Structure formats: C-alpha cells, structure tokens
Structure 1
Amino acid sequence: MLPQEVRSILEEMRSERIKGASWLAMKGAEAYIALADILEGEELENALKEMKTEVPAINRTIASLYNLSRFIPVTGNPEVVRAKAEEFLRLAEEAKSEIGNIGSELIDENEVVITHSFSSAVLEIFRVAKKKGKHFKVILTESAPDYEGIALAGKLEELGVPFEVITDAQLGLFAEKATLALVGADNITSDGAVINKAGTYPLALACHDNGIPFYAAAESFKLHPKLTSGDVEIVERPYARQGYRVRNFLFDVTPWRYVRGVITELGILVPPKEI
C-alpha cells in the first residue's frame, strides 16, 4: 500500500487536464522523492514494485510515465531512489532547454507557426525564438474540450508573441496560411508515429496537402522503446454535451510519413529510422 502522501500526488496527476506528458513525468518523479522520504528497506522495495504498475497506469498512452517507472530502480535504499528521481528531473529540464535552442532555429523571420494543444516543449521553442529577437506569429487551436490552447494563448501573451486562436474545426482552413507546424507529443512510438492530442493527425494531413513542414517536439523520455503505433492504447474520457454522449478520445496517431522530424535534446530525428 502506497503512503497517502504519494497517492495524493498520483491522484493530482490523474486529474490534470492541461499540462501534458512532461509535467506528468516530472510530477511522477516528485512522487518517487516523496516515497523515499517516507519508506526504506523492504517497505520501500514493495512500494516501488507497486509504483511500476501505478505510474504507467495513470495514462497508458503517455510514454514518459512508462520510461520514468523504468528509470527508478527497485531498491530498499531511499537515497538511491531520491538520487535517481532528482537526476530524472535535472535531465528533463536540460532536455527542454536544449529543445528550445534546437527548435528555435527552425523559426525564420516573419514565420507563421501553427500548433495544436499545449506543449511545454513547443512553448520553450517559442520562448527562445522570442529571446533571440525573432519576429513570428502563432496560430493555435482552442483545443476543445479541455481548451489547452487557451492556456497556451495566455503564455504567449505573457511572452509578447503575437497569436491568433482558432476553433479546432478550422485547422484545414488556417494550415494554408502557416509556414511551419510545431506540435508536442505524448508518445513517439518505436515505428516513428507521433501520439498527441486528438486533432494532431488532421493538422498533419492539412500541412501535407499544403506543403507545410510538420515537426513534433519531444524530450527523449517520450520515445517508447517497445510500443508500435498499432499497439498504443488510446484513452477515452467520458464527455457529454446537452445530454448527449460525445466520443472523446484524448489522442490520435500521426504516421511518420507526415512528420518532417522530431525535435529532441539529441537533435532533430527523422522518423522512423532515427527513432
């Protein structure tokens, strides 16, 4: 049985709707640190075995949770657990920073970037590009039904980056007005597909038809070492409007052939070969 302090963190992770896979992975690392502060010896070992099931189960579509659970060893030594969790947090921050540096070089002067949903990695690219003095505009979807795009709009406003919010249904209409597409990813499968907020696949198709380069930004801990695109379990969340059930799968699958590259801290990887 996991301590209540740890279960509270896991429950917070389950209930989160906006912040995405990077935040979940880092919050998960904090749960391991909390565990190391409470338990040791055999009790810690048993709890860590339980965490190997509990953490990925928060959302089985998200590769970062699976990789986090593999990164932390099963041991009775709380100092080892704490050190590994802190190492994960440090590497995650370094990865996002490097993605910002690499991805910002894709943004040319007066670029029009279209994006979907909220990605901390994509936001970092925008932040660094702005810091480098580049002038660009962002077209972003509202990203219903959780409206992650509205959260991104608030961040862009803080950065002073000009933006335009569109409804999800207008992805095709506005893709032809863009010069570059950047999205985040919750999972990059072993065969190079991008798993991201539902609506990403239609955006990739629209970009393909209009000759717009489409990139995903993802820390390397979002690359799944085993799952292929056909094996990914896509989570559906209950949703209703005006008394009618509305199908609400959280993610969709964008095949590698529509993806120009995956921006990671290791460089821009070309799927599927370099994944």
Structure 2
Amino acid sequence: MLPPQVRSVLEELRAERIRGASWMAKRGAEAYLILANLLEGEDLEKALLELKRELPAVNPTMASLYNLTRFIPITGDASLVISRAEEFLHLIDEAKKTIGNIGSELIEDGDTVITHSFSSAVFEVLRTARSRGVDFKVILTESAPDYEGIVLASELEKLGIEFELITDAQLGLFAGRSTLALVGADNITKDGAVINKAGTYLLALACHDNGVPFYVTAESFKLHPELRSSEVEILERPYARQGYRVRNFLFDVTPWKYIRGIITELGILVPPREI
C-alpha cells in the first residue's frame, strides 16, 4: 500500500496537462525520495514493487517513467533508493544543460526556428542560443487543446526572444518560412520513431516537403529499450466541444526517415542506427 504522500504525487502526474516527460520523470524520482524517507525494509520493498507498476501506468506513452522504474532497485535499503533517485535527478539536470549546449550550435544568426508544443529540452536549446548572443526568431504553435505553446511564448517573452505564435492548422504554411525545426519527445522507440505531442508528425512532413532540417531534442532516458513504434500505447483523453465528442490522442508517431537527428546529452544520434 503506497503512502498518501506518494499517492498524491501520482495524482498530480495524472492531472498534469502542460509539462512533459522530463518533468514527469523528475516528479517520479521525487516520489521515490518521499517513499524512501517514509518506509524501510520489507515495507519499502513491497511499496517499490507497487510503484514500479503504477508509475509507468500514469502515462504509458512516456518512456521516461518506464526507465525511471528500471533505474531504481527493488530493495529494503532506503539509503540506496535515496541515492539512486538523487542520481537520477542529477542526471536530468546535467542532460538538459548538455543538450542545450549541443543543440544551440545548430542555430545561427538569422535563423527561424519552428517548434510545436512545449519541450523543456527545446527551451534549453533556445535559451542557451540566446545567452550566446545568437540573433534568431521562433515560430511556435498554440498547441491545442491544452495550449502548451502559450506557456512557451510567455517564457520566450521573458528572455526577449522574438517569436510568432500560430494556430496548429498553419503548420504547413509556416514550415516553409523556417530554417530549422526543433521538437521534444516523450518516447523514442527502438526502431527510431519519435512519439511526441500530436501534430509533430504533420510538422515533420511539412519540413520534409520544404527541405527544412527536422531535429528532436531528448534526454537519453526517453529512449525506450524495448518497444517498437507499433507497440506504443498512445494515450487519449476525453474531449468535447459544443456537445460533440472530439477525438483527442495526445501523441502521434513520427517515423525516423523524417528526422535529421536526435539531440541527446550523448551527442546527436542518427535514427534508428544509433538508437
């Protein structure tokens, strides 16, 4: 039986609409810290087994939650669980900084970067490029129905980065006006496909048609060691407008052939060979 404090974190993860796989993994690691500070011995071991089942089920599309549960051992030693969870949190922070440094090298003066949804890794790339004095602009979608793009616009505004906000339906129109595409990922499958916010596949197609290089930013814990793209469970949430049910799959699948590279803390990987 998981303690109420850990149950509360799971409910928080289920309710989240804006923040993605990196934030989910961070909160998941913090749930392990809470658990290890409350239990030990056999009680801890039983709770860890339960959390290993429940955490990935919060959002089965996200590889980060699955990989987090693989990273934390099933043990009654609370100090070991705390050590591993803290290591995971450290790796998250370091990975993002490295991705920012690597990805920012792709952005040059005069570039127009197009993105979809709100990826913390993409934001780190843009932030780092800005801190280096690169002069560029961003085209971003509003990212309906949860409007993550509006949140990103607010963050770009704080940094003084020039941006243009568009509706999702204009992805095809504006892709040709960009010089580089950067998106995040919630899962990168064994066969090199990228699972990300629905609309990512359409952006990749538009970029392919317009000759715009399409890059994905993702920490290595988003690489799924087992699943192929056809095996990933794509989460759908109930959604209605004016009394009509609207299909609302949260993610779509972008095949590797449309992806120039995946920017990770290990370098830029070429899918699927280097996955």
TM-score by length of 2: 1.00
Structure 2 CA distance for aligned equivalents of residues 13 and 82 of structure 1: 20
Tell me by how many angstroms 1:152 deviates: 0.3
What is the SS of the residue equivalent to 1:48? helix
Q: Which amino acid aligns with 1:158?
A: K
What is the SS of the residue equivalent to 1:90? helix
Structure 1 CA distance for aligned equivalents of residues 255 and 107 of structure 2: 24
Q: Which amino acid aligns with 1:228?
A: R
Partner of 1:141: 141
Tell me by how many angstroms 1:258 deviates: 0.1
Partner of 1:56: 56
Structure 2 CA distance for aligned equivalents of residues 28 and 158 of structure 1: 28
Partner of 2:9: 9
Partner of 1:19: 19
Structure 2 CA distance for aligned equivalents of residues 193 and 48 of structure 1: 31
Deviations 1:192-219 (A, max 9, x none): 0010000000000000000000000000
What is the SS of the residue equivalent to 1:230? helix
Structure 1 CA distance for aligned equivalents of residues 190 and 106 of structure 2: 25
Q: Which amino acid aligns with 2:222?
A: K
What is the SS of the residue equivalent to 2:230? coil
Q: Which amino acid aligns with 1:256?
A: W
What is the SS of the residue equivalent to 2:59? coil
Structure 2 CA distance for aligned equivalents of residues 204 and 109 of structure 1: 23
Partner of 2:229: 229
Give the alignment of 1:1-275 within 5 angstroms. Answer: 1-275=1-275
| Structure 1 portions without partners, runs of 5+ | none
Number of residue-to-residue matches in the alignment: 275
Deviations 1:165-193 (A, max 9, x none): 00000000000000000000000000000
Q: Which amino acid aligns with 1:257?
A: K
Structure 1 CA distance for aligned equivalents of residues 19 and 236 of structure 2: 18
| Structure 2 portions without partners, runs of 5+ | none
Q: Which amino acid aligns with 2:58?
A: I
Structure 2 CA distance for aligned equivalents of residues 75 and 199 of structure 1: 41
Q: Which amino acid aligns with 2:195?
A: I
What is the SS of the residue equivalent to 2:113? strand
Structure 2 CA distance for aligned equivalents of residues 135 and 176 of structure 1: 19
Structure 2 CA distance for aligned equivalents of residues 78 and 21 of structure 1: 26
- Over 3 Å off, 4+ runs: none
Structure 2 CA distance for aligned equivalents of residues 160 and 190 of structure 1: 38
Tell me by how many angstroms 1:92 deviates: 0.6
Q: Which amino acid aligns with 1:162?
A: E
Deviations 1:135-189 (A, max 9, x none): 0000000000000000000000011100000000000000000000000000000
Structure 2 CA distance for aligned equivalents of residues 7 and 265 of structure 1: 32
Computed over aligned residues only, the root mean square deviation of the Cα atoms, in angstroms, reads 0.3
Q: Which amino acid aligns with 2:28?
A: G
What percentage of aligned pairs have identical amino acids? 73
Structure 2 CA distance for aligned equivalents of residues 140 and 188 of structure 1: 22
Tell me by how many angstroms 1:248 deviates: 0.1
Deviations 1:64-99 (A, max 9, x none): 000000000000011000000000000010000000
Q: Which amino acid aligns with 2:159?
A: L
Q: Which amino acid aligns with 1:45?
A: E
Structure 1 CA distance for aligned equivalents of residues 120 and 75 of structure 2: 32
Structure 2 CA distance for aligned equivalents of residues 14 and 100 of structure 1: 28
